Structure 1
Amino acid sequence: MGCLRVALVHNQSAKSIAVASQLTKLLSTSGNIIDQENPGIVISIGGDGTLLSAFHLYSHKLEQVRFLGVHTGHLGFYTDWRDYELEELVETLCHNQEENVSYPLLDVVIRYRDGRTDKHFLALNESTIKREHRTMVADVYLKDELFEHFRGDGLSVSTPTGSTAYNKSIGGAVLHPSIEAMQLTEIASLNNRVFRTVGSSIVVPKDDWIEIRLPKSMDHLVTVDQFSIQQADVASVYYRVAPEKIRFASYRHMDFWRRVREAFIGDLS
Structure 2
Amino acid sequence: MKFAITSKGDSNSNTLMHKIKMYLLDFNLQYDEDQPDIVISVGGDGTLLYAFHRYCSRLDKTAFVGVHTGHLGFYADWVPEEIEKLVIAIAKTPFQVVEYPLLEIIIRYQNGERESSYLALNESTVKSVEGTLVMDVDIRGQHFERFRGDGLCIATPSGSTAYNKALGGAIIHPAIPAIQLTEIASINNRVFRTVGSPLILPGHHTCTLKPVNQTDFHVTIDHLTLLHKDVKSLQFRVADNMIRFARFRPFPFWKRVHDSFISNS
The interval holding the TM-score normalised by the smaller chain is over 0.9
Indicate if the aligned counterparts of 2:24 and 2:91 stay in contact, CA closer than 8 A: no
Instruction: State the partner residue of 1:237.
Output: 234
Map of 1:88-103 to 2, 5 A cutoff? 88-103=85-100
Instruction: State the partner residue of 2:27.
Output: 30
Deviation of 1:194 after TM superposition, in Å, equals: 3.7
SS of the residue aligned with 2:189? coil
Moved over 3 A (4+): none
Query: Is 2:140 the partner of 1:121?
Result: no
Map of 1:90-169 to 2, 5 A cutoff? 90-169=87-166
Deviation of 1:29 after TM superposition, in Å, equals: 0.4
Deviation of 1:234 after TM superposition, in Å, equals: 0.9
Within 2, Cα distance between the matches of 1:60 and 1:14? 29
The letter for the 2-side match of 1:75 is: L
Instruction: State the partner residue of 2:254.
Output: 257
The letter for the 2-side match of 1:223 is: T
Query: Is 2:55 the partner of 1:58?
Result: yes
The letter for the 1-side match of 2:28 is: G
Residue 43 of structure 2: which of 43, 46, 51 is its match?
46
Instruction: State the partner residue of 1:179.
Output: 176
**TM-score, L = length of structure 1:** 0.96
Alignment identity in percent?
46
Within 2, Cα distance between the matches of 1:14 and 1:98? 29
**TM-score, L = length of structure 2:** 0.97
Within 2, Cα distance between the matches of 1:133 and 1:216? 12
Cα deviations by residue, 1:97-119 (Å, 9 ceiling, x for unpaired): 24111000000001110111000
The letter for the 1-side match of 2:15 is: A
Give the RMSD, CA atoms, in angstroms: 1.2
User: Where does the alignment leave 5 or more consecutive residues of structure 1 unmatched?
Assistant: none
Instruction: State the partner residue of 2:200.
Output: 203
Query: Is 2:79 the partner of 1:82?
Result: yes
Deviation of 1:84 after TM superposition, in Å, equals: 1.8
SS of the residue aligned with 2:76? coil
Deviation of 1:216 after TM superposition, in Å, equals: 4.7
The letter for the 2-side match of 1:93 is: I
